A and B are shown apart, each in its own frame.
Chain A
Amino acid sequence: MITADTVADAAATPDRGQPHEALGLTGTEYASIVGLLGRRPTDAELAIYSVMWSEHCSYKSSRAHLRQFADKAPPTGALLAGIGQNAGVVDVGQGYAVTFKIESHNHPSYVEPFQGAATGVGGIVRDILAMGARPVAVLDALRFGPADAADTRRVLAGVAAGISFYGNCLGLPNIGGELVFDPCYSGNPLVNVLAVGVMRHADLKLARASGTGNKVILFGSLTGPDGIGGASVLASASFGDGAADGAAAGREQAKRPNVQVGDPFMEKLLIECCLELYQAGLVVAIQDLGAAGVACATTELAAGGDVGMTVQLDAVPLRDRNLGPAEILMSESQERMMAIAEPHAIDKFAAICAKWDVPATVIGEVTDTGRLIMTWHGEVVVDLPPASAAEGPRYERPLARPAGQDRLQSDDPARLPRPGLVGSAGGVGAPLRADLLALLSSASAADKTWVTEQYDQHVRGNTILAMPHDAGVLRIDEESGLGVALATDGNGRYCLLDPYAGAQLALAEAYRNVAAAGARPLAVTNCLNFGSPQDPAVMWQFAESVRGLADACAALGVPVTGGNVSFYNQTGAKAIQPTPVVGVLGVLADVRRRLPSGFGAAGETIMLLGSTAAEFGGSLWASVIHGHVGGLPPAVDLAAERRLADVLVAGAAEGLLSAAHDLSDGGLAMALAESCLIGGPGQAGRYGCVVTLPGDPFTCLFSESAARAVVTVRPGAEPEFTRLCAARGVPAIRIGVTGGQALEIAGCFSVPADELSNAYRSTLPAIFG
Chain B
Amino acid sequence: MTGRIGIVTFPGSLDDVDASRAVARAGGHPVPLWHADRDLRGVDAVILPGGFSYGDYLRCGAIARFAPVMAELIPAARAGLPVLGICNGFQILCEAHLLPGALTRNAGLRFVDREVRIRIEANRTPWTCRYRPGQELTVVLKSGEGAYVADQATLADLAAAGRVVARYCGGDPNGSVDGIAGIASAAGNVVGLMPHPEHAIDSLTGPGTDGLDFFASILSPATA
Chain B contacts with A in 165-224, Cβ cutoff 8 A: 196, 198-199, 203-208
Kindly identify which residue among A268, A453, A461 contacts B205, using a CB–CB cutoff of 8 Å: A461
Quick one: CB contact mask for A454-484 with B, threshold 8 Å, 1 for yes? 1111111111100000000001000000000
A-binding segment of B14-22, B38-46, B69-77, B92-100: B14-22
Segment at the interface with A among B107-115, B126-134, B147-155, B156-164:
B107-115
Q: Indicate whether A562 reaches chain B with its CB closer than 8 angstroms.
A: no
Q: Given A161-B110, A454-B112, A459-B15, A682 and B55 touching (CB < 8 A)? A: no
A370 within 8 A of B: no
B138 within 8 A of A: yes
With A263-B55, A268-B12 in contact, do A464 and B204 touch (Cβ < 8 Å)?
yes
Q: Across the interface, do A681 and B17 meet the contact criterion of CB distance under 8 Å?
A: no
Is there contact, CB below 8 Å, between B205 and A455? no
15 contacts between A and B (CB under 8 A): A169-B55, A265-B56, A268-B52, A269-B12, A453-B114, A454-B112, A455-B111, A461-B17, A461-B18, A464-B205, A682-B206, A682-B207, A682-B208, A683-B203, A683-B207
A475 and B205 contacting across the interface, CB-CB below 8 Å:
yes
Judge whether A461 and B198 touch: CB under 8 Å.
yes
**A268 CA / B52 CA spacing, docked (Å):** 10
Q: Does B32 contact A (CB under 8 A)?
A: no
Asked if B140 CB lies within 8 Å of chain A CBs, one says yes
- Does B113 contact A456, Cβ atoms closer than 8 Å? yes
Q: Contacts A269-B11, A454-B111, A461-B18 known; A171 to B51 CB distance under 8 Å?
A: yes
- Residues on the A chain within 8 Å of B138, using CB: 683
Contact (Cβ within 8 A) B21 A169: no
Q: How far is the CA of A265 from the CA of B64 in the complex (A)?
A: 13
* CA A394 to CA B71, docked complex, whole Å: 61
Is A164 at the interface (CB under 8 A from chain B)? yes
For the complex with contacts A169-B56, A458-B199, A683-B208, 20 further pairs of A-B residues with Cβ separation under 8 Å are A169-B52, A169-B55, A171-B51, A263-B55, A265-B54, A268-B12, A268-B14, A268-B55, A456-B111, A457-B113, A458-B18, A458-B140, A458-B196, A459-B18, A459-B50, A461-B205, A461-B206, A682-B206, A683-B138, A683-B203
- Given contacts A169-B12, A265-B57, A454-B111, whether A463 and B203 have CB atoms under 8 Å apart is no
Q: B113, A455: Cβ atoms under 8 Å?
A: yes
A682 to B140 Cα, complex, angstroms: 11
Partner of B14, one of A459, A463, A682: A459
Q: Which residues of B contact A454 (CB under 8 A)?
A: 110-113
Cα–Cα distance between A105 and B12 once the two chains are bound (Å): 25
> A165, A263, A266, A453: which contacts B113 (Cβ < 8 A)?
A453
- Tell me, yes or no, whether B142 is within 8 Å of chain A by CB: yes
Contact with A along B3-16 (1 / 0, CB 8 A): 00000000110110
A459 in contact with B142 (CB, 8 Å): yes
In the bound complex, do residue B199 and residue A461 qualify as a contact, i.e. CB atoms below 8 Å apart? yes
In the complex, what residue of chain A is closest to B9 when comparing beta carbons? A272
Bound Cα distance from A266 to B12, whole angstroms: 9
A263 proximity list for chain B (CB < 8 A): 55
A169 to B15, CA, bound (A): 11
A623 within 8 A of B: no
Docked CA distance A462–B18 (Å) = 9
Residues in A lying within 8 Å of B, measured CB to CB: 161, 164-165, 168-169, 171, 263-266, 268-269, 356-357, 453-464, 475, 591-592, 681-683
Neighbouring B residues of A165 by C-beta, 8 Å:
111
Task: Give B136 Cβ to nearest chain A Cβ, in Å.
Answer: 12
Residue of B nearest to A478 (CB): B21
**Complexed CA–CA distance, A357 and B54 (Å):** 11
Question: Is A168 within 8 A of B18, CB to CB?
Answer: no
Kindly list the 9 A-B residue pairs having the minimum CB-CB distance in the complex, ordered from nearest.
Answer: A265-B55, A171-B14, A682-B203, A461-B18, A458-B199, A169-B52, A454-B111, A164-B111, A456-B142
Which residues of B have CB within 8 Å of A453? Answer: 110-114
Count how many chain B residues have C-beta atoms less than 8 Å from C-beta atoms of the other chain.
32
* A79–B121 CA distance with the chains assembled, in angstroms: 54
Tell whether, in the assembled complex, residue B196 and residue A168 are in contact, meaning their CB atoms are under 8 Å apart: no
Q: Within the complex, what minimum Cβ distance (angstroms) separates B33 from chain A? A: 15
Which chain A residues border B196 with CB–CB below 8 Å? Answer: 458
- Shortest Cβ distance from residue B88 to the other chain A in the assembled complex, whole angstroms: 11
For residue A192, give the distance in angstroms from its CB to the closest CB of chain B: 21
Q: Which of A171, A455, A458, A681 has the most CB of B within 10 A?
A: A458
A residues near B55, Cβ cutoff 8 Å: 169, 263-266, 268
Q: A164-B111, A455-B113 are in contact. Are A462 and B205 (CB under 8 A)?
A: yes
B53 nearest CB across to chain A (Å): 9
Chain B contacts to A: CB under 8 angstroms = 11-12, 14-15, 17-18, 21, 50-52, 54-57, 110-114, 138, 140, 142, 144, 196, 198-199, 203-208
How far is B56's CA from A138's CA once the two chains are assembled, in angstroms?
22
Instruction: Tell me the bound Cα distance from A498 to B199 in angstroms.
Output: 45
Contacts of A455 in B (CB 8 A): 111, 113
Could you tell me the distance between the alpha carbons of A95 and B111 in the complex, rounded to whole angstroms?
37
Q: Say how far B34's CB is from chain A's closest CB, in angstroms.
A: 9
Query: CA–CA, A223 to B199, complex, Å?
Result: 38
CA distance A722 to B50 in the complex (A): 47
- Alpha-carbon separation in the docked complex, A455 to B205 (Å): 16
Which residues of chain A are near B112, meaning CB under 8 Å? 453-454
Once the chains are docked, how many angstroms separate the CA of A25 from the CA of B15? Answer: 47
Cβ–Cβ < 8 Å partners of A461 in chain B: 17-18, 21, 198-199, 205-206
Q: How far apart are B198's CB and chain A's nearest CB, in angstroms?
A: 7
Across-interface contacts of B52 in A (CB, < 8 A): 168-169, 264-265, 268
**Complex Cα spacing A169 to B207, Å:** 22
Q: A592: which B residues are within 8 A, CB to CB?
A: 204
Write out the residue numbers on chain B whose beta carbons fall within 8 Å of the beta carbon of A591: 204
| Distance to closest chain A CB from B161 (angstroms) | 32
The residue on B at minimum CB distance from A449 is B114
Whole-angstrom CA separation of A458 from B206 in the bound complex: 8
Instruction: Give the Cβ gap from B174 to chain A, nearest Cβ, in Å.
Output: 12
Residues of the B chain whose Cβ atoms lie less than 8 Å from the Cβ of A457: 113
Q: Which residues of B contact A264 (CB under 8 A)?
A: 52, 55
* Residue from A356, A463, A682 with most neighbouring chain B CB atoms (10 Å): A682
A456 to B50 CA separation, bound complex (whole angstroms): 12
CB atoms of B208 and A460 under 8 A apart: no
Of all chain A residues, the one with the shortest Cβ separation from B14 is A171
Query: For A475, what are the chain B residues with a Cβ–Cβ distance below 8 Å?
Result: 204-205
Cβ of B56: which chain A residues have Cβ within 8 Å of it? 169, 265
The smallest beta-carbon distance between B200 and chain A, in angstroms, is: 9
Report the nearest A residue to B110, measured CB to CB. Answer: A454
User: Do A265 and B11 have beta carbons less than 8 Å apart?
Assistant: yes
Give bound CA distance, A689 to B14, whole Å. 40
Complex-state Cα separation, A453 to B140, whole angstroms: 12
Q: In the docked arrangement, what's the CA distance between A682 and B139, Å?
A: 11
Q: Nearest residue in B to A458 (C-beta to C-beta)?
A: B199
Cα–Cα, bound, A263→B12 (Å): 12
Cα A184 to Cα B55 with chains together (Å): 37
Q: How far is the CA of A577 from the CA of B150 in the complex (A)?
A: 52
B110 & A460 in contact (Cβ 8 Å cutoff): no
Tell me, rounded to whole Å, the shortest Cβ–Cβ distance linking B171 to chain A: 13
- A463 to B207 CA separation, bound complex (whole angstroms): 11
Give chain A nearest CB distance to B30 CB in angstroms: 13
Bound together, the chains give a CA A263 to CA B205 distance in angstroms of: 29
- Taking the closest CB of chain B, its distance from the CB of A517, in whole angstroms, is 14
Shortest Cβ gap from B43 to chain A (Å): 21
Nearest Cβ distance between residue B168 and chain A, in whole angstroms? 16
Residues of B within 8 A of A464 (CB): 204-205
Chain B residues, Cβ within 8 Å of A462: 205
Contact assessment for B203 and A265 in the assembled complex, using a CB-CB cutoff below 8 Å? no
Contacts of A682 in B (CB 8 A): 203-204, 206-208
B131 to chain A, nearest CB (A): 18
Q: Are B208 and A458 in contact (CB under 8 A)?
A: no
B residues less than 8 Å from A459 (CB atoms): 14-15, 18, 50, 142
